[in-house]
Amino acid sequence: MTNIPKKADILFSAYSVEPYQILKDAMKRKKEDIIQELLDSGLRGRGGAGFPTGMKWKFGAAEKADQKYVICNADEGEPGTFKDKKLLTDVPRKTISGMAICAYVTGATKGFIYLRAEYRYLLASLEKEIEVFEQKAKEFGLDFEIKIFMGAGAYVCGEETALIESMEGKRGEPRNKPPYPIQNGYLGKPTIVNNVETLASVSMVCRLGAEEYKKLGTSDQKGSKLFSISGDSPKEGVHELELGMKVSDFVTEYGDGDTKAIQVGGVAGYCIPRKKFESTIIGEGQTTGGSTLIFNSTRSMYRVLHNYLDFYAEESCGQCTPCRVGCQQLLKGIEAVKAGTKPPKYLDQLMKLSNTMNLTSKCGLGQSVTNSFTTIVENFREEMIF
């Protein structure tokens, strides 16, 4: 049976009549109720780690501090991803409402949008929108101001603790966790970091209610989500889809009829080969962030992996051994196998290495290299060798 993946029209749906009506309505509710609504909705972070948003806010609200911060992560450094940009361009009010609801629920009084350096052109329009918001916030009696912080330009600065370090004027290196930003974030204060899409989704959960929102998705993944589709697809672009679709259905809709593999979740994600299309549900038990890449049979998976590793070797912050040296070793290693200067079984050594990187790296970057590395090498081993 083929199912066309259900398109959803939530995140880009038209605004309600009055600007910030969602916020106004939310502020009439008890804070605990909103947290419960989010928990019930099953909403998970859309920035990559997939942490339940309601839980994060619950912890944030429970922290005692004289100052708390909300940070909207708009660093979107992942190659092939442009969904956050589209949200901030088309419906910025939804994300800003999300930030404000977060402020209301957790008691934060200052917020930042950490905007990717390449999105500087959005600055003027966003600032204008923030002015509108702050007017409304005053009207609603919400003590919350938002500032835009221009990103440092490195991919790793999207990692929440590196992002905070860079906001503090330091080198964008991920911190040790624990403590998490929720306990010890920006300037040592409790800080709630959420992705642009997560915050927009919060607005929509508040508007639709958890029951309605939950109707979309599977047992594991609730709601709808934006997919930045690129690669060998006639329908490249940002698409909002209901979570929980089979890869085969997805490929039928978005592939070019000759798809041999897709990469879900961007560089940090997994490669799914054709033979597993039927048995795999997108996003189940896996990363939820980033882009979806479609590869047809003309693609060399060696090149694909090579590109990823090149990216990692360059974009690692370089501080921790497994990631800094490991990325270089994986890259040089597959080159050596391809060139025949290392035997094919060296790939097994590299698989073990990617496992060590996963177990010992300091942040999600080094930890996630193994996802694409093992899934590509396991499924396309002969392409690595010949």
Ligand X SMILES: Cc1cc2nc3c(=O)[nH]c(=O)nc-3n(C[C@H](O)[C@H](O)[C@H](O)COP(=O)(O)O)c2cc1C
**Which residues are at the interface with ligand X (CB under 6 A)?**
45-49, 51, 73, 75-78, 155-156, 158-160, 193-195, 198, 363-365
CA distance linking residue 122 with residue 120, whole number of Å: 5
| 358: partner contacted, choices ligand SF4, ligand X, another protein, none (Cβ within 5-8 A by kind) | another protein
Per-residue binding letters, 342-381, with another protein (x by CB under 8 A): x------x--xx--x-xxxxx----x--------------
168 binds another protein (CB under 8 A): no
Q: Which of 19, 52, 80, 318 binds another protein (CB under 8 A)?
A: 318
Asked whether 116 and 78 are in contact (CB, 8 A), the reply is no
SS3 assignment, position 285: coil
Name the residue nearer to ligand X (CB basis): 47 or 333: 47
Contact, 79 vs 70, CB < 8 A?
Answer: no
Q: Which does 286 bind (CB under 5 to 8 A by kind): ligand X, ligand SF4, another protein, none?
A: none
- Residue 313 touches which member of ligand X, another protein, ligand SF4, none, C-beta under 5-8 Å by kind: another protein
Angle at CA 314, nearest 5°, toward 310 and 317? Answer: 140
Residues 241, 105: Cα–Cα separation, whole Å: 28
Binding of residue 176 to another protein (CB under 8 A): yes
DSSP string of 122-156, one letter each residue: GHHHHHHHHHHHHHHHHHHT---EEEEEE--S-GG
Exactly one of 27, 113, 154, 251 binds another protein (CB under 8 A); that residue is: 154
**Full strand arrangement of the beta sheet holding 259-264:** 237-242, 224-231, 291-296, 259-264, 270-273
89 binds another protein (CB under 8 A): no
Structure tokens at 241: 């889809």
Q: How far is the CB of 73 from ligand SF4 (least distance, A)?
A: 16
| Alpha-carbon radius of gyration of the chain | 21
Least distance from ligand SF4 to the Cβ atom of residue 28, Å: 42
Distance, in Å, from the CA atom of 42 to the CA atom of 222, rounded to the nearest integer, reads 6
Q: Which stretch binds another protein (CB under 8 A): 98-106, 235-243, 299-307, 327-335?
A: 327-335
Nearer to ligand SF4, 268 or 320 (CB): 320
Among another protein, ligand X, ligand SF4, none, the one that 51 touches (CB under a kind-dependent 5 to 8 A) is ligand X
Q: How far is the CB of 161 from ligand SF4 (least distance, A)?
A: 9
CA distance linking residue 344 with residue 94, whole number of Å = 51
Q: Is 71 in the site for another protein (CB under 8 A)?
A: no
Q: Which residue, 167 or 384, is less far from ligand SF4 as judged by CB? A: 167
- Residue in 163, 196, 216, 323 binding ligand SF4, rule: CB under 6 A: 323
Q: What angle do CA 362, 365, 367 make, to 5 degrees?
A: 60
Biggest distance spanned by C-alpha atoms of the chain: 69
Among 174, 244, 265, 269, indicate the residue that binds ligand SF4 (CB under 6 A). Answer: 174
How far is the C-alpha of 65 from the C-alpha of 107, rounded, in Å? 9
Cα separation of 57 and 138, whole Å? 23
Binding of another protein at residue 291 (CB under 8 A)?
no
Kindly state the smallest distance separating residue 201's Cβ from ligand X, in Å: 9
Which structure tokens are listed for 292? 């979806």
Note whether 148 binds ligand SF4 by CB under 6 A. Answer: no
Q: Closest Cα partner for 175 from 193, 150, 197? A: 193
Sites of contact with ligand SF4 (CB under 6 A): 156, 174, 316-320, 323-324, 361-363, 365-366
Query: What residue ranges bind another protein (CB under 8 A)?
Result: 154, 156, 171, 173, 176, 178, 312-322, 324-329, 332-333, 336, 342, 349, 352-353, 356, 358-362, 367
